[in-house]
Amino acid sequence: MNNRISFKNSLLKSAAILTVAGVLSRLLGFYYRILLTKYVGATGVGLFQMCMPLAAFAFALSCSGFSISVSKFSASSPSYKWLFAGLRISVLISCLVSVLLFTNSSFIARQIFMEERCENLIRIISFALPFMCIHNCISNYFYSQKESFIPASSQLIEQFARIGSLLLFVKIRNVPLISAADALAGNIFGELAASLYCIVPLVCNAARNKSIYKNISCSFREFKHIIKFSLPINTNQTIMHLLESAEAILIPAILTLSGISKDDAISQFGIITGMALPLVMFPCTAANSFAVMLLPKVSDESHLHNTNNKKESNLRLCHTVKSTVSMCLNLGIISIFLFINYGARLGSMIFSQPSVYIYTCILAWLCPFLYLKISLGSILNGLGHTSLTCIINIVGIMIRLLFILVFIPHIGICGYLYGLLASNILVSLLYIFNIYHKLNILPSPFDSIIIPICTSVISIFSSRIICRVIFGVIIKKAGEPVILLSGAAICCIIYLLLFIREYRKFM
């Protein structure tokens, strides 16, 4: 029992560190996006976002499964054996992929993206890829050792390097607008700085404790384990990001069929994916933090379930799943109310784009399903069902592509937003059904859905009343951003106070 409490406290502590760092990182990310909007423009942001799925595709092909395998297999061993094995495979593949991207950048930009302005962006992505792999593998090693401070703080280092390089380019060029390629070049400096930052504590640990540096040479057996575990995840992520690349190409192309110009289509795509969607994904910081720490936890409990003491390990797995679903739904439901009442208007003011308000109000309904998808996907991978995760995610992206092809020509960009919503709902439900079925868990909709909805309604109405009193009677001169931020903060505090009992279940 003490071990269970200790492990939970360790999980929550690590997740809390990641969440704090993630919030700070996302705030810096918002500042970075505001700078992009100012110095690159909406069309530049659209070009930037068109190339991001390609970067994610290259990363998935080179690293995603290998970095997760480092986390899984290093959880029971403090040595660097699994880390070095994962790094060797990942860095080798990333270098090969980088060469292919660089040498074929013109073909990809002109023939696939149908936008020659993407050529330089693709070349920059090729330079950043190996550093992304090194950073991710080392971060996952630290996660496996329940050391979240180094990878968490590396996120901040990466953001500071990106912002600093962007401001440096602006100062050097001394012009009101810079190219999207100049902005994306900051990713190279960001990943390089984060990689170096993560390498230093590895060297220091090896110098202090010689034992963790032993047995770094891996036999064919270790490589076989890593590749066997990684292959379904890499396949899943590669196919997903390949389809997302197709999505990024199709949306501007099909938008032009509805009668708007190519630059306007790219601008609309940039506003949604570069401004509104990151705003809605801001609370994902908590879900991502728990997802990262859940993988080694669920892997350990799943291993115990397959060896001995099945009853106790099954109870732990069930408790982990129920608590995760409950927390994701709590976070998602209150997020819907927050974005519709406060976040959408605040986002339109931050980015100086009125359409951000409409897009954010639609995307807000994604929140519960988006957060569930992130955390439950990690749980399903931890249970060893990586192929099933792959199939479910592919079904989700195919629904989005269907909506793009069928609805965008008739109703414009909103067809893509509705496709996102339908896709995330289906994927979340499939995750819940499969996990609950495999672990024989009975759903509890009253605790997970009804109570959070009622609590959210009370919190929103209370915050609006309090704001009217404060800014209508006590403080009569305050800008709208201050009122919106204050209202959101008051709503969150009331919600936490009302629902503190539910959060204690996870403690």
pLDDT digits (tens, 9 = 90+) for 112-159: 888 888 888 888 888 888 998 888 888 888 877 777 788 888 888 888
Residues 6+ apart with CB under 8 A from 421: 362, 363, 365, 366, 369
pLDDT digits (tens, 9 = 90+) for 299-350: 555 555 555 556 666 677 777 777 778 778 888 888 899 999 888 898 888 8
Buried b (16+ CB within 10 A) or exposed e, 344-381: bbbbbebbebebbbebbbbbbbbbbbbbbbbbbbbbbb
Cα(67)–Cα(135) distance, integer angstroms: 9
Buried b (16+ CB within 10 A) or exposed e, 202-224: beebeeeeeebbeeeebeeebee
Between 307 and 410, name the one with better pLDDT.
Answer: 410
Say whether pLDDT at 99 is over 90: yes
Residues 6+ apart with CB under 8 A from 300: 75, 76
Sign of the dihedral through C-alpha 79, 80, 81, 83: positive
CA distances from 456 to 335, 344, 446, 485, 496 (A): 9, 17, 14, 17, 10
Look at phi and psi of residue 115 and say left if phi exceeds 0, alpha if psi is from -120 to 50, else beta. Answer: beta
Query: 75, 239, 53, 89: which is closest to 145 by C-alpha?
Result: 75
pTM over 0.75: no
pLDDT at residue 100, rounded to an integer: 92
Q: Which residue has the tokens 């672990």?
A: 439
| Number of Cα atoms under 13 Å in the Cβ half of residue 400 | 25
Say whether pLDDT at 9 is over 70: no
Q: How many CB atoms lie within 10 A of CB 9?
A: 11
Helix ranges (H only) for 308-343 are 310-338
Query: 472, 51, 445, 507: which is closest to 266 by C-alpha?
Result: 51
Residues 6+ apart with CB under 8 A from 6: none
Between 339 and 447, name the one with better pLDDT.
Answer: 339
Say which amino acid occupies 54: L
